[in-house]
Structure formats: C-alpha cells, structure tokens
Amino acid sequence: MASMGFSWMEGRMRDLVWCKVAGNSVRGGERKVSESSGDVYQEIFAGVSSRSDVAHAIARAVRQLREAMEKEDNCAVTAAHVRNLKEIDPAALALAYAMAEKTCTYWPTPGQIRELAGWSDETRGRAALQWVFAYLAKHGVEGRAHGGGVRFGEDETGRRVLLEAEPVIPAPQIPAEIEAILAALGNGSAKQGLRYVSQHPVAKGWDTFHGDAASRTAERIEAQWIRCCLHILRTKERGF
C-alpha cells in the first residue's frame, strides 16, 4: 500500500526489549535484545524515505542477517522479503531484523519478520481502514476533488480583495489492495464498500449517534472490514 507511507507505525527503540519467538532454544523463548546489538540494522534503515529506498534496505538487512546466521546468499529469499515487507515502517524493520538475529534458531520467513515488527495482517488491515477514513474525510464516497476554496480580505483602502486561492487536490487512486478489500466488503463494488465504511462513526461523526449505537456500529463495520481484509491478504499470499 504504497500510498500510505510509514506514518502509522511509530515508536523508538528502547534500551532493552524482550521478545518471545516460537521454536527458540532459549528457556521460555525469551532473549534480551540490547539497543547496541541493533545498531547495524538501524544504520541500514536510517534515512529511508521512499519505497525504493526501503526495498534496498531490506535487501541489505537480509544479506546481513544471512551472514550472521551463516547462510549463503539466495536471491529468491531476498526477493520474498522485499516483496512482502516493503510497506512496513523502516524503524520497525530495523528492530525486527535485530530481534531475528538474536532470537531465531532457523531462518525467519517474511511472516516472522512481520510479526517481530508488530505488523500482523490484522494490524495491516486496521492501518488500511485508517487510510480509507482519511480518504472519505477529504474526498467522500464519490472521490470528489478537495480544496479549491478562496480567502478574501481587505486592502489598505478597505476594498474586498482575493488573498489566497486553495489548490484543487484530486482524489488519489485507491491502492489495489485496499480496493480489493472494499470490493469484497461491497459485494463486488468498491464504491459500495466505501459507502458501507462511510457509515462508521469515525467517518459519519460520533455526534450523530446515541447511546451504545456508535460503538455497536463501529464494532460491526470494523469486524467485517477485518474479515474481508484477512480473506484478501491470505488469498493473495496463496497466489490465487
């Protein structure tokens, strides 16, 4: 979901992080990951700002991790990590690869790196829903242009003059993955899916509801969104 950027995954590395990884040989699956042990991965992902930058950084992190785990380079493995992880926040990826180097007995799949980054499919789905809320707030279900307003004031003679004109911002293209979720939600129509999400209190306004109605409506729409999202993501992963 390239249009979303990395803004929803924030947080700083702390001096000490505890993580649990299934299948570790360490007692209870727990190991300490110090901030200094992740310095190499922080350097790899430092300054990453574009989608191509993050792809190159993931490739470097994979090579670093394979060297640390005494694995030979494998182009297919590197490509799989780039393909499946490039939408994740760079800081989260730096921490995830550092954790993997410290905790993984066997080579981690992209899915394991995703989990270590705190980026499960459900988290990914909720981030996509926030993107849709922002889209609806600016462009509505019909995808109308945003802006185009004008601001007037008075000059030194008291005459009304144009001070500023807002640029017209067309609605962005909905990312393919989100469009697929919306279509699943709307029985084959992405626009119908947008109409359904637009009934959520975040989009419609909490003050238009009474009592528990807002919470019930929000829970229903979010649950349906996550179900459709997981179906789309898992179907995509199977290659169907």
pLDDT digits (tens, 9 = 90+) for 146-189: 776 667 777 788 788 777 777 888 999 999 999 999 999 999 99
User: Among the residues of 8-120, which ranges form H helices?
Assistant: 39-45, 51-68, 75-85, 90-103, 110-116
Check whether residue 81 and residue 40 sit in a common domain. yes
Count structural domains, the chain. Answer: 2
Instruction: Provide the pLDDT for residue 39.
Output: 86
Compute the distance between CA of residue 189 and CA of residue 209 in angstroms, rounded to an integer.
27
Encoded tokens for 127: 């981030």
Instruction: Provide the pLDDT for residue 111.
Output: 87
Check whether residue 97 and residue 130 sit in a common domain. no
Say if CB 171 and CB 197 are below 8 A apart: no
Give the closest residue to 95 by CA, choosing from 71, 118, 69, 126.
118
Check whether residue 180 and residue 202 sit in a common domain. yes
Domain that holds residue 217: 123-238
DSSP 187-200: TT-HHHHHHHHTTS
Find the Cα–Cα–Cα–Cα dihedral 36, 41, 43, 49, rounded to 10°. -140
178: CB partners within 8 A, 6+ apart: 1, 128, 131, 132
204 pLDDT band, cuts 50/70/90, is confident
Give the closest residue to 5 by CA, choosing from 65, 70, 86, 95.
86
Encoded tokens for 97: 């690869």
The residue among 214 and 33 whose pLDDT is bigger is 214
Per cent of the chain over pLDDT 70 is 80
Check whether residue 18 and residue 71 sit in a common domain. yes
Which residue, 62, 95, 119, sits at the end of a domain?
A: 119
Which residue, 70, 98, 119, sits at the end of a domain?
A: 119
Instruction: Provide the pLDDT for residue 208.
Output: 72
Compute the distance between CA of residue 149 and CA of residue 30 in angstroms, rounded to an integer.
57
Task: Report helix, strand or coil for 38.
Answer: helix
Check whether residue 71 and residue 145 sit in a common domain. no
Check whether residue 203 and residue 96 sit in a common domain. no
Instruction: Provide the pLDDT for residue 122.
Output: 85
* φ and ψ of 120, to 5 deg: -70, 170
Whether residue 1 is predicted with pLDDT greater than 70 in this model: the reply is: no
Q: What is the pLDDT of residues 7-57, one digit of tens each?
A: 333 332 333 233 333 333 333 344 444 444 568 999 999 988 888 899 999
CB atoms within 10 A of CB 71: 13
Q: What is the pLDDT of residues 98-121, one digit of tens each?
A: 999 999 989 999 989 988 998 888
Instruction: Provide the pLDDT for residue 159.
Output: 83
Instruction: Provide the pLDDT for residue 186.
Output: 95
Check whether residue 82 and residue 149 sit in a common domain. no
Instruction: Provide the pLDDT for residue 32.
Output: 42
Task: Report helix, strand or coil for 30.
Answer: strand
Whether residue 64 is predicted with pLDDT greater than 80 in this model: the reply is: yes
Instruction: Provide the pLDDT for residue 238.
Output: 64
Query: What is the helix (H) or strand (E) element at residue 150, kind and residue range?
Result: strand 150-154
| Model pTM above 0.85 | no
Which residue, 119, 142, 163, sits at the end of a domain?
A: 119
Whether residue 141 is predicted with pLDDT greater than 80 in this model: the reply is: yes
Instruction: Provide the pLDDT for residue 222.
Output: 94
Compute the distance between CA of residue 62 and CA of residue 113 in angstroms, rounded to an integer.
11
Q: Average the pLDDT over 215-240 and give the result.
A: 85
* φ and ψ of 145, to 5 deg: -65, 150
Per cent of the chain over pLDDT 90 is 51
239 pLDDT band, cuts 50/70/90, is low
Compute the distance between CA of residue 86 and CA of residue 57 in angstroms, rounded to an integer.
9
Mean pLDDT of the chain: 81
